[in-house]
Structure 1
Amino acid sequence: MSNPGQADPTPITSARQLAEWFASGSKPRADWRIGTEHEKIGFRRADFSPPSYEHQGIGALLEGIMAKGWDPIRDGDNVIGLTRNGCSVSLEPGGQFELSGGPVEDLHATRLETASHLRDVHEVAGPLGLGFAGIGFNPVARREDMPWMPKSRYSIMRRYMPLKGNLGLDMMLRTATVQVNLDFGDEADMVEKLRVSLALQPLATALFASSPLREGKPSGYKSLRGHVWSDTDPDRTGIPGLVFEEGFGFERFAEYALDVPMYFVARDGKLHDVAGQSFRTFMKKGLDGLEGIEATMGDVADHVTTVFTEVRLKKFLEMRGSDSGSEAMLLAEPALWVGLIYDDAAQKAARALTKGWSVAEMHALRAEAPKLALDATVAGRKLRDVARDVLAIAEGGLKARGLGEEAYLAPLQEIVASGMTQADRILQLYEGAWKGDATRAFEFTEL
């Protein structure tokens, strides 16, 4: 969940305005960029407990990194994020530490950006006794052990989430992901990219699975993070079937987004809890308790950040289906999707591979992939076999860019060749050398 942006006070009165906002993200190919976001799960080295904001914890980490030339983002008196040169650092509800990278031209720049951020984190976190793990779910902490970061929107979500699903608070507090933001050329290109990436998002869940442990024991899932998202809030998550319907485009997604229940309205530096109310009603009639406040484009831009589909449309496409992982896996995520959808031939091949899948099959795969990873099936094929084809397409797409970026696919190719995901290796060590000590997962996955 990113830090809040700048509000646009222009009144919004129709879905068409939101559609035009989405469409304004269209760019010529020469301006397409790569933006990578990755979260890390913090732990105190002394006892592997999750660090709070206070007591030489996450707040002190932010202050230390801020001293390296970052500008603070505040929520009241608390620093809850940092920004510099198009990049930002933000906090997830349980203190997961996130870098939202700036838009860069190639994956080599992503590597440098990631290395610089991790170096800063190490330098500041070390004296605080903190470490950070690239893993999809905290392997030992109970939900009630988790701290809450002092960010206003999280108190609203904390109240509302349990009304919509059983695992929403786990999503907030105990999960971590790696995501990539990619551009589109026009509406038709957006539609094709969104269809390809939504269909293949469960495959990414399988390839990047790194979260098999819960509260010190095997959970029965390879990507517990992926499973948690299936019981968070059906109003705003998953693979929306409308994307695959004839005539889908910016306006259809805008209509969908307007019917996703709201969380909050921001005014005068304060977030007002309107969770569950309709943005469409807000747009047309206003909201009870907020009489006289009209909906603006800034409000709807904030609202779009609370749509949690497996791929989210904003002024770009945000791939959201993967567990966090090792530094190599943090680079493999953008490599996979750049290879698939930034080259015309690769995008057409990926679309041809998935075009025959029904929405029902995609939903079934999304439910199965967190548990079985590459042993899941879709359209009568093992996901491991599909992954071979997908990686070959992605490799071809990266080679066509001529930048040597295909090297970043290596960890995914190793996973498919061996059949062993990050989660499988963690389970193997848990049952073997670790002798059931789940805290060893922190050391194994430390970034």
Structure 2
Amino acid sequence: MISYEKIRNRLYEEFIKPTDKEKNFIGVEIEIPIINLEKEAVDFSVVHKVTDQFRKQFGDFKAEGIDYEGNVFSMENNKTEDIVCYDCSYNNIEFAMGREKDLFSINDRFTEYYKFTKECFEEYNHTLTGMGINPYRKYNKNVPIPSERYLMLYHHLKSTDDYENVPMRFHEYPEYGMFSSASQVQLDVAKEDLVKTINVFSKIEPIKALLFSNSVLIDENDNITCFRDILWEYSTHGVNPHNIGMYNVEFEDINDLQAYLESLNIYCVMRDGAYINFPSMNLFEYFGTDSVEGEVYCGGEYKKISVKPSIDDIDYLRPFKFINLTFRGTVEFRSVCTQPIKDSMSVAAFHLGLKNRLNELDELISNDDVIYHKGYTASELRKLLIKEEIPSFIDKNDICKLSKDIVDLASEGLKDRGIGEEIFLKPLYERIKNRTNPGKEIIKLTNNNISIEEIIEDYGNI
């Protein structure tokens, strides 16, 4: 057994200590669905051809991930630290931009990569689009990339039968990682600001749902504008609700935050380069056992294996919170869907600007009575505001004003930086003015008999 103190110290070293040195960098990750315009499954041979074309065009990118069939699924530019890869399956491409001090540098490189990649796909009658759920998912082969990590992840998501005694229901989309896409932002946050950052940003998750929702499960649940939330919560990642979604507590100090980390579940580790899955369990339960029975992928099938816990297994702790601490010493904001491509930088701009106006944001949301002090928690409000219709107890004019006040704070925070990044917030002002978001627009357009092909094209333009 591994002692409580040793586990606690390792969690601190992994997630909190790295924030001691704030450097004010920005990281942006944008996942984007790939579409076969023939209304057939994405042709993986086309994906591999486009990957080759990308590597020839951008010679500084070197293969970093190669699947079991010899295909490249991840490329990295060691100069910029940009990574272009496929996320979960070859139906999703991800542009993970290397850290920068400003958004313009990130946007310039992302635009260059995206335009080239999209043009390559269009040579084969495929395309890319800025939608949080692949609108052609029903045509696709929803199979994971044949690699250690993605086979492990899909095996975990399919393992609902292992949780018969868990008081929750599971949805029917264990392959959701292969058709859902997010826009994530990582910011350096100093240790002394960690608790306040998490507390304050958690309270604006309902407003973020109103501004950014863009994940409509067309023809199935098309009154929900951000179905991604549901896909995460009611999957095996949500067996312990502390591993996903919002915090639902307000932290007093770092000790409180540390205690929350200790409440998380672990469901995989690595041994000799191979992932081992086991039923999701609390960290202390895991480290309190002599061995855990798991499964390892070997020779095309899963085999039973016993694993002895090691303190280094904390390296494989994988929470998927809306706001995550990372081993890089950053705070990762991950509740936002992929946006229409031309609006991609709005996500980073919003979070970066508000980070620089944290005290004012705290005061604004602490004194709010538009959505708060009406009997609902932040988590409950988020669930209500991912629906197409705003609930009747919230005044639509007032919530638009609150949203604008928050975006105004983000704009002020960016203006303080003096380089014009506030221009990236323009789409958010337009959404507030028109009382809409990308998900609501998808619903409205499809209800007005606008073809999904037109929406795909519009949301994919840059």
- Indicate the residue corresponding to 1:428 in structure 2: 444
- Indicate the residue corresponding to 2:316 in structure 1: 302
Residues 274 and 379 of structure 1: is their aligned pair in 2 closer, same or farther, counting only changes over 3 Å? farther
Residues 424 and 196 of structure 1: is their aligned pair in 2 closer, same or farther, counting only changes over 3 Å? same
Matches within 5 A, 1:1-20: 13-20=6-13
1:161-213 per-residue CA deviation (whole Å, 9 max, x = no partner) reads 25262155253122111110011111x30111111222222322221122334
**Pairing partner for 1:89 from 84, 91, 103:** 84
**Secondary structure at 1:137's aligned position in 2?**
coil
Is structure 2 residue 68 aligned with structure 1 residue 63?
A: no
**Secondary structure at 2:416's aligned position in 1?**
helix
Residues 185 and 81 of structure 1: is their aligned pair in 2 closer, same or farther, counting only changes over 3 Å? same
**Pairing partner for 2:126 from 130, 139, 145:** 130
Native 8 Å contact 1:375 1:384 kept in 2: no
Residues 268 and 362 of structure 1: is their aligned pair in 2 closer, same or farther, counting only changes over 3 Å? same
- Indicate the residue corresponding to 1:104 in structure 2: 100
**Pairing partner for 1:231 from 229, 234, 250:** 234
**Secondary structure at 2:14's aligned position in 1?**
helix
Is structure 2 residue 257 aligned with structure 1 residue 261?
A: no
Residues 182 and 143 of structure 1: is their aligned pair in 2 closer, same or farther, counting only changes over 3 Å? farther
Native 8 Å contact 2:384 2:391 kept in 1: no
> Which structure 1 residue ranges, 5 or more long, are not aligned?
1-11
Cα deviation for residue 239 of structure 1 reads 0.9
**Partner letter of residue 204 of structure 2?**
L
Native 8 Å contact 2:248 2:378 kept in 1: no
- Partners of 1:424 and 1:378 lie apart in 2 by 18
**Partner letter of residue 62 of structure 2?**
D
**Pairing partner for 2:284 from 280, 285, 292:** 280
Is structure 2 residue 423 aligned with structure 1 residue 407?
A: yes
- Indicate the residue corresponding to 2:353 in structure 1: 339
Cα deviation for residue 271 of structure 1 reads 1.4
**Partner letter of residue 407 of structure 2?**
L
**Pairing partner for 2:323 from 311, 314, 338:** 311
**Secondary structure at 1:339's aligned position in 2?**
helix
**Cα-Cα RMSD:** 2.9
**Secondary structure at 1:212's aligned position in 2?**
coil
Matches within 5 A, 1:25-174: 25-28=18-21, 31-47=23-39, 49-52=40-43, 54-56=44-46, 58-67=47-56, 68-69=58-59, 70-72=61-63, 73-76=65-68, 77-85=70-78, 86-94=81-89, 95-142=91-138, 146-162=142-158, 163=160, 165-166=170-171, 169=174, 171-174=176-179
**Partner letter of residue 255 of structure 1?**
E
Is structure 2 residue 352 aligned with structure 1 residue 361?
A: no
> Which structure 2 residue ranges, 5 or more long, are not aligned?
164-169, 294-304
Q: Which moved more, 1:36-45 or 1:119-128?
A: 119-128
Cα deviation for residue 247 of structure 1 reads 5.8
**Partner letter of residue 239 of structure 1?**
M
Residues 268 and 230 of structure 1: is their aligned pair in 2 closer, same or farther, counting only changes over 3 Å? closer
- Partners of 1:178 and 1:219 lie apart in 2 by 21
Native 8 Å contact 2:29 2:185 kept in 1: yes
- Indicate the residue corresponding to 2:181 in structure 1: 176
Q: What TM-score, normalized by structure 2, do the two folds share?
A: 0.81
**Partner letter of residue 219 of structure 1?**
D
Q: Which moved more, 1:236-245 or 1:111-120?
A: 236-245
- Indicate the residue corresponding to 1:209 in structure 2: 213
Percent identity (aligned): 18
**Pairing partner for 1:219 from 219, 222, 227:** 222
**Secondary structure at 1:371's aligned position in 2?**
coil
Cα deviation for residue 442 of structure 1 reads 1.7
Native 8 Å contact 2:75 2:84 kept in 1: yes
- Indicate the residue corresponding to 2:402 in structure 1: 386
Q: What TM-score, normalized by structure 1, do the two folds share?
A: 0.84
**Pairing partner for 2:337 from 320, 323, 326:** 323
Cα deviation for residue 294 of structure 1 reads 4.5
1:383-435 per-residue CA deviation (whole Å, 9 max, x = no partner) reads 4332111111111111111111111100001111111222233233323352x
